[in-house]
Amino acid sequence: MLKDFKKFVLRGNVVDLAVAVVVGAAFNSVIQSIVKDFITPLIVGISKNGKLISGKLVIDQRFIFNWGDFINTLLSFLIVATVVFFFVVQPITKLQKISTKNVESTTKKCPECLNDIPKKASRCGFCGIKIKNNTN
């Protein structure tokens, strides 16, 4: 049983997942710091109490709905998503385009069905058309 457990723990995808969780937690700290140290001071400067919207709905003193807190949490989520998109997703996408720019493709488009097929293929595996070897 211990041998099976060791095999499970050392399996590639378990180790990859563990690394992803640790890196994700560290990355979360970076994003939260950007929002807390750069974006939130702008919001505090604009608003009176550090919140953009404050509001409550009180029904019979027992039910208190803090709809202002919900809106502020939603806005906070959108701010974090914006920071991640512009400071992480966009730069990584550009870096990926630059890194794959000079890589030679091993596939070509079938002239009939436009699916990707291997460059050396003589017949399309999707539509069955015969392919000339000199076409790209």
Whether 90 and 36 share a structural domain = yes
* 3-state helix/strand/coil string of 31-96: HHHHHHHHHHHHHHHHCCCCCCCCCCEEECCCEEECHHHHHHHHHHHHHHHHHHHHHHHHHHHHHH
- Dist CA 122 CA 106 (whole Å): 14
User: Does residue 91 lie within any of the structural domains?
Assistant: yes
- DSSP bridge pairs for 58: 64
Indicate whether 81 and 26 sit together in one domain.
yes
CATH of the domain at 80: 1.10.1200.120
| pLDDT value for 113 | 92
pLDDT, one tens digit per residue, over 45-104 is: 776 666 666 777 788 888 888 887 788 788 878 888 888 899 888 998 898 888 877 777
Range(s) of the domain holding residue 62: 11-103
Co-location of 127 and 79 in the same domain:
no
